[in-house]
Structure 1
């Protein structure tokens, strides 16, 4: 069974299937990459909780940066957020994001806690 949460015309914020939660891309508020990353990860936390998961159950993360020059600044926030010993498979690349003010977008797939 597929369960979709917060579904609109274009997308669902969470899709659950076979014990896995797929989150739509999350962005955050703030002026700096660090601020946007922290806010984005707080939104990921909230969606994971709603989906029945948490940071320790993240399987994969895809990080998009508007500018790879911001890689170290984003990683400083990311590294403090990921629980030790629970780093997911992760990719990071540069992409033009949906709005000019956006500096980071993160897409997460996580196992649902049993």
Structure 2
């Protein structure tokens, strides 16, 4: 899958499904959790298709905790992580994800 296709799939299919599952069930099932873990094999589309849209919209504390858990379980290339942290630091938001996300770099 090309990066542009992966970004589209992550943003409009996977993110929408994950947010819907979290709001209805109050937790994420194993299959969706694994899908998010697998999506980190393509870090640039993951950040552009899942993380940044989640930060730009209002994410709940539960969503932030789940995404932070997924990010902490996988090794992310330093180049992608640095670019994502810079992009996140520049964003003007009052999200609950700030402490969980920026704490990964230390």
Higher Rg? 1
Query: Comparing both structures, which one devotes a greater share of its residues to helix?
Result: 2
| TM-score, normalised via structure 1 length | 0.35
Higher strand share: 1
